[in-house]
Structure 1
Amino acid sequence: MKTFNPPIASRSSEDLLKIVCHPNEWDDEALTQAAHELKATGIEYHERLSRQNYLRQPREKLENLRKSSESYSFLYFIFNPIGSLVEIIASYDLKEDGYFRKARQRRIIIILLLLLGFSIYLYHFFSNL
Protein backbone atom coordinates (compact mmCIF):
# COMPACT_ATOMS: atom_id res chain seq x y z
CA MET A 1 0.00 0.00 0.00
CA LYS A 2 1.41 3.36 -1.04
CA THR A 3 1.77 6.22 1.37
CA PHE A 4 1.13 9.78 0.29
CA ASN A 5 2.28 13.03 1.82
CA PRO A 6 0.03 14.06 3.52
CA PRO A 7 -1.65 10.69 3.98
CA ILE A 8 -4.97 10.27 2.21
CA ALA A 9 -6.69 9.32 5.48
CA SER A 10 -5.71 12.64 7.11
CA ARG A 11 -7.07 14.85 4.33
CA SER A 12 -10.30 16.79 4.55
CA SER A 13 -13.48 15.60 2.89
CA GLU A 14 -13.19 18.39 0.31
CA ASP A 15 -9.67 17.22 -0.61
CA LEU A 16 -10.88 13.64 -0.89
CA LEU A 17 -13.71 14.76 -3.18
CA LYS A 18 -11.19 16.64 -5.34
CA ILE A 19 -9.10 13.48 -5.65
CA VAL A 20 -12.08 11.34 -6.63
CA CYS A 21 -13.50 13.94 -9.04
CA HIS A 22 -10.20 14.36 -10.91
CA PRO A 23 -9.06 10.79 -11.59
CA ASN A 24 -6.66 11.74 -14.41
CA GLU A 25 -4.51 13.73 -12.00
CA TRP A 26 -4.10 11.00 -9.38
CA ASP A 27 -2.60 7.56 -8.98
CA ASP A 28 -5.01 4.57 -8.92
CA GLU A 29 -3.97 3.80 -5.36
CA ALA A 30 -4.80 7.37 -4.25
CA LEU A 31 -8.21 7.10 -5.91
CA THR A 32 -8.91 3.83 -4.15
CA GLN A 33 -7.85 5.18 -0.78
CA ALA A 34 -9.84 8.40 -1.20
CA ALA A 35 -12.97 6.48 -2.22
CA HIS A 36 -12.52 4.17 0.77
CA GLU A 37 -12.14 7.14 3.15
CA LEU A 38 -15.21 8.86 1.73
CA LYS A 39 -17.22 5.66 2.07
CA ALA A 40 -15.99 5.26 5.67
CA THR A 41 -17.12 8.79 6.56
CA GLY A 42 -20.48 8.25 4.85
CA ILE A 43 -20.06 10.91 2.17
CA GLU A 44 -21.76 10.11 -1.14
CA TYR A 45 -19.57 11.26 -3.99
CA HIS A 46 -21.17 9.53 -6.99
CA GLU A 47 -23.66 12.37 -7.64
CA ARG A 48 -20.90 14.96 -7.43
CA LEU A 49 -18.69 12.86 -9.69
CA SER A 50 -21.39 12.58 -12.36
CA ARG A 51 -22.06 16.35 -12.12
CA GLN A 52 -18.34 17.04 -12.43
CA ASN A 53 -18.13 14.85 -15.54
CA TYR A 54 -21.19 16.58 -17.01
CA LEU A 55 -19.55 19.99 -16.51
CA ARG A 56 -16.19 18.80 -17.80
CA GLN A 57 -17.52 17.65 -21.19
CA PRO A 58 -18.30 21.16 -22.59
CA ARG A 59 -14.94 22.43 -21.33
CA GLU A 60 -13.15 19.59 -23.08
CA LYS A 61 -15.09 20.25 -26.29
CA LEU A 62 -14.12 23.93 -26.18
CA GLU A 63 -10.49 23.03 -25.52
CA ASN A 64 -10.47 20.57 -28.43
CA LEU A 65 -12.05 23.17 -30.71
CA ARG A 66 -9.44 25.73 -29.67
CA LYS A 67 -6.62 23.28 -30.28
CA SER A 68 -7.92 22.19 -33.67
CA SER A 69 -8.14 25.78 -34.97
CA GLU A 70 -4.88 27.10 -33.50
CA SER A 71 -2.32 28.01 -36.14
CA TYR A 72 1.15 29.40 -36.63
CA SER A 73 1.35 33.15 -37.12
CA PHE A 74 3.49 34.70 -39.84
CA LEU A 75 4.85 37.16 -37.26
CA TYR A 76 6.02 34.25 -35.13
CA PHE A 77 8.36 33.20 -37.93
CA ILE A 78 9.63 36.77 -38.44
CA PHE A 79 10.35 37.63 -34.81
CA ASN A 80 11.49 34.18 -33.70
CA PRO A 81 12.96 32.44 -36.76
CA ILE A 82 15.23 29.95 -34.98
CA GLY A 83 12.68 29.00 -32.33
CA SER A 84 9.96 28.55 -34.93
CA LEU A 85 12.23 26.43 -37.13
CA VAL A 86 13.12 24.20 -34.18
CA GLU A 87 9.44 23.91 -33.28
CA ILE A 88 8.48 22.99 -36.85
CA ILE A 89 11.17 20.32 -37.05
CA ALA A 90 10.74 18.89 -33.54
CA SER A 91 6.95 18.91 -33.10
CA TYR A 92 5.99 15.70 -34.84
CA ASP A 93 2.94 14.76 -32.73
CA LEU A 94 0.73 17.79 -33.32
CA LYS A 95 -2.05 15.75 -34.89
CA GLU A 96 -2.14 13.30 -31.97
CA ASP A 97 -2.41 16.25 -29.56
CA GLY A 98 -5.36 17.69 -31.48
CA TYR A 99 -3.59 20.57 -33.26
CA PHE A 100 -4.86 19.65 -36.73
CA ARG A 101 -4.34 23.04 -38.35
CA LYS A 102 -0.79 23.35 -37.01
CA ALA A 103 -0.02 19.82 -38.23
CA ARG A 104 -1.19 20.70 -41.74
CA GLN A 105 0.80 23.97 -41.69
CA ARG A 106 3.87 22.10 -40.43
CA ARG A 107 3.65 19.64 -43.31
CA ILE A 108 3.37 22.48 -45.86
CA ILE A 109 6.26 24.42 -44.30
CA ILE A 110 8.54 21.36 -44.31
CA ILE A 111 7.74 20.72 -47.99
CA LEU A 112 8.46 24.36 -48.82
CA LEU A 113 11.75 24.28 -46.90
CA LEU A 114 12.80 21.11 -48.70
CA LEU A 115 11.93 22.65 -52.08
CA LEU A 116 13.85 25.81 -51.17
CA GLY A 117 16.89 23.80 -50.13
CA PHE A 118 16.75 21.67 -53.25
CA SER A 119 16.40 24.72 -55.52
CA ILE A 120 19.38 26.41 -53.81
CA TYR A 121 21.39 23.22 -54.32
CA LEU A 122 20.42 23.07 -58.02
CA TYR A 123 21.26 26.75 -58.47
CA HIS A 124 24.75 26.28 -57.02
CA PHE A 125 25.26 23.06 -58.97
CA PHE A 126 24.35 24.60 -62.35
CA SER A 127 26.05 27.94 -61.69
CA ASN A 128 29.39 26.16 -61.22
CA LEU A 129 29.21 24.45 -64.65
Structure 2
Amino acid sequence: MTDDFKPSIKSRTTEELLAIAGAPKKWNERALKLALNELYNRKVDTKLIDHAKYVEKRQLEFEALQKATKSYQISDFIFNLKGTLFELIFTWELKKDGYLLKAQQQKTFRISLIVVILLVYLLKELLPSTT
Protein backbone atom coordinates (compact mmCIF):
# COMPACT_ATOMS: atom_id res chain seq x y z
CA MET A 1 0.00 0.00 0.00
CA THR A 2 1.58 3.29 -1.09
CA ASP A 3 1.81 6.25 1.25
CA ASP A 4 1.10 9.18 -1.07
CA PHE A 5 -0.39 11.39 1.64
CA LYS A 6 1.08 14.81 2.34
CA PRO A 7 2.65 14.74 4.81
CA SER A 8 3.21 11.03 4.56
CA ILE A 9 1.65 8.84 7.23
CA LYS A 10 5.05 7.46 8.25
CA SER A 11 6.45 10.94 8.87
CA ARG A 12 3.65 11.93 11.24
CA THR A 13 4.04 11.98 14.99
CA THR A 14 2.63 9.22 17.13
CA GLU A 15 0.02 11.69 18.46
CA GLU A 16 -1.11 12.45 14.90
CA LEU A 17 -1.31 8.75 14.10
CA LEU A 18 -3.36 8.16 17.24
CA ALA A 19 -5.69 10.95 16.15
CA ILE A 20 -6.17 9.19 12.81
CA ALA A 21 -6.70 5.81 14.47
CA GLY A 22 -9.09 7.35 16.99
CA ALA A 23 -11.32 8.90 14.33
CA PRO A 24 -11.76 6.24 11.64
CA LYS A 25 -14.88 7.89 10.18
CA LYS A 26 -12.98 11.11 9.48
CA TRP A 27 -10.27 9.40 7.43
CA ASN A 28 -10.33 7.25 4.34
CA GLU A 29 -9.71 3.55 4.74
CA ARG A 30 -6.21 3.59 3.27
CA ALA A 31 -4.98 6.34 5.61
CA LEU A 32 -6.45 4.50 8.57
CA LYS A 33 -4.75 1.22 7.62
CA LEU A 34 -1.41 2.97 7.08
CA ALA A 35 -1.70 4.76 10.42
CA LEU A 36 -2.54 1.56 12.26
CA ASN A 37 0.35 -0.25 10.55
CA GLU A 38 2.73 2.54 11.49
CA LEU A 39 1.53 2.51 15.09
CA TYR A 40 2.09 -1.26 15.14
CA ASN A 41 5.60 -0.80 13.68
CA ARG A 42 6.36 1.78 16.38
CA LYS A 43 5.15 -0.72 18.97
CA VAL A 44 2.51 1.64 20.37
CA ASP A 45 0.36 -0.02 23.02
CA THR A 46 -3.14 -0.89 21.79
CA LYS A 47 -4.51 0.70 24.96
CA LEU A 48 -3.39 4.07 23.59
CA ILE A 49 -5.30 3.42 20.38
CA ASP A 50 -8.39 2.44 22.36
CA HIS A 51 -7.99 5.57 24.47
CA ALA A 52 -7.74 7.71 21.30
CA LYS A 53 -11.01 6.17 20.07
CA TYR A 54 -12.64 6.84 23.43
CA VAL A 55 -11.48 10.47 23.45
CA GLU A 56 -12.80 10.99 19.90
CA LYS A 57 -16.15 9.44 20.82
CA ARG A 58 -16.47 11.70 23.86
CA GLN A 59 -15.53 14.74 21.73
CA LEU A 60 -18.24 13.91 19.20
CA GLU A 61 -20.79 13.47 22.01
CA PHE A 62 -19.78 16.83 23.48
CA GLU A 63 -20.12 18.58 20.11
CA ALA A 64 -23.57 17.00 19.61
CA LEU A 65 -24.65 18.21 23.06
CA GLN A 66 -23.40 21.71 22.28
CA LYS A 67 -25.39 21.73 19.03
CA ALA A 68 -28.52 20.41 20.74
CA THR A 69 -28.46 23.13 23.41
CA LYS A 70 -27.45 26.04 21.15
CA SER A 71 -30.19 28.64 20.97
CA TYR A 72 -30.93 31.99 19.44
CA GLN A 73 -29.77 34.90 21.58
CA ILE A 74 -30.80 38.55 21.60
CA SER A 75 -27.32 39.35 20.29
CA ASP A 76 -28.06 37.29 17.16
CA PHE A 77 -30.89 39.69 16.34
CA ILE A 78 -28.90 42.80 17.27
CA PHE A 79 -25.66 42.04 15.42
CA ASN A 80 -26.91 39.83 12.58
CA LEU A 81 -30.60 40.54 12.10
CA LYS A 82 -30.79 39.65 8.40
CA GLY A 83 -28.85 36.40 8.76
CA THR A 84 -30.81 35.34 11.83
CA LEU A 85 -34.18 36.11 10.24
CA PHE A 86 -33.15 34.31 7.05
CA GLU A 87 -32.15 31.25 9.10
CA LEU A 88 -35.37 31.33 11.10
CA ILE A 89 -37.60 31.66 8.06
CA PHE A 90 -35.88 29.58 5.38
CA THR A 91 -33.78 26.93 7.11
CA TRP A 92 -35.65 23.64 7.34
CA GLU A 93 -33.08 21.20 8.65
CA LEU A 94 -32.02 22.57 12.04
CA LYS A 95 -33.40 19.54 13.86
CA LYS A 96 -31.84 17.13 11.38
CA ASP A 97 -28.50 18.91 11.82
CA GLY A 98 -28.70 18.44 15.60
CA TYR A 99 -29.79 21.95 16.63
CA LEU A 100 -32.76 20.80 18.71
CA LEU A 101 -33.34 23.95 20.76
CA LYS A 102 -32.93 26.23 17.75
CA ALA A 103 -35.45 24.10 15.83
CA GLN A 104 -38.00 24.52 18.63
CA GLN A 105 -37.40 28.27 18.77
CA GLN A 106 -37.72 28.43 14.98
CA LYS A 107 -41.11 26.72 15.12
CA THR A 108 -42.38 29.21 17.71
CA PHE A 109 -40.98 32.16 15.78
CA ARG A 110 -42.62 31.09 12.53
CA ILE A 111 -46.03 30.88 14.21
CA SER A 112 -45.52 34.30 15.79
CA LEU A 113 -44.42 35.77 12.47
CA ILE A 114 -47.52 34.44 10.69
CA VAL A 115 -49.75 35.92 13.40
CA VAL A 116 -48.05 39.33 13.10
CA ILE A 117 -48.35 39.32 9.31
CA LEU A 118 -52.04 38.40 9.50
CA LEU A 119 -52.70 41.13 12.09
CA VAL A 120 -50.95 43.77 9.99
CA TYR A 121 -52.91 42.67 6.93
CA LEU A 122 -56.23 42.70 8.78
CA LEU A 123 -55.56 46.09 10.35
CA LYS A 124 -54.65 47.49 6.96
CA GLU A 125 -57.89 46.17 5.46
CA LEU A 126 -60.14 47.24 8.36
CA LEU A 127 -58.82 50.73 8.95
CA PRO A 128 -60.01 53.38 6.51
CA SER A 129 -57.47 54.57 4.02
CA THR A 130 -56.22 58.14 4.53
CA THR A 131 -55.57 58.76 0.83
TM-score, length-scaled by structure 2? 0.74
Asked if the contact 2:21/2:53 (under 8 Å) is kept, the reply is: no
Q: Distance in 2 between matches of 1:100 and 1:110?
A: 16
Deviation at 1:42, TM superposition (A): 4.8
Identity %: 33
Residue 29 of structure 1 aligns to a residue whose secondary structure is helix
Asked if the contact 1:17/1:45 (under 8 Å) is kept, the reply is: no
Deviation digits for residues 38-76 of structure 1 (CA, Å, limit 9, x no counterpart): 33x152453112222334444444443333222212343
Q: Relative to 1, partners in 2 of residues 1:126 and 1:11: Cα closer, same or farther, differing over 3 Å? A: same
Deviation at 1:109, TM superposition (A): 0.4
TM-score, length-scaled by structure 1? 0.75
Q: Relative to 1, partners in 2 of residues 1:16 and 1:78: Cα closer, same or farther, differing over 3 Å? A: closer
Structure 1 vs Structure 2 CA RMSD: 2.7
Q: Which runs of 5+ in 2 are unaligned?
A: none
- In the alignment, does 2:33 pair up with 1:32? yes
Q: Distance in 2 between matches of 1:38 and 1:2?
A: 14
Aligned residue in 1 for 2:21? 20
Aligned residue in 2 for 1:11? 12
Q: Relative to 1, partners in 2 of residues 1:54 and 1:13: Cα closer, same or farther, differing over 3 Å? A: closer
Q: Which amino acid aligns with 2:7?
A: P
Q: Relative to 1, partners in 2 of residues 1:50 and 1:96: Cα closer, same or farther, differing over 3 Å? A: same
- In the alignment, does 2:104 pair up with 1:97? no
Q: Which runs of 5+ in 1 are unaligned?
A: none
Residue 102 of structure 2 aligns to a residue whose secondary structure is helix
Asked if the contact 2:21/2:49 (under 8 Å) is kept, the reply is: yes
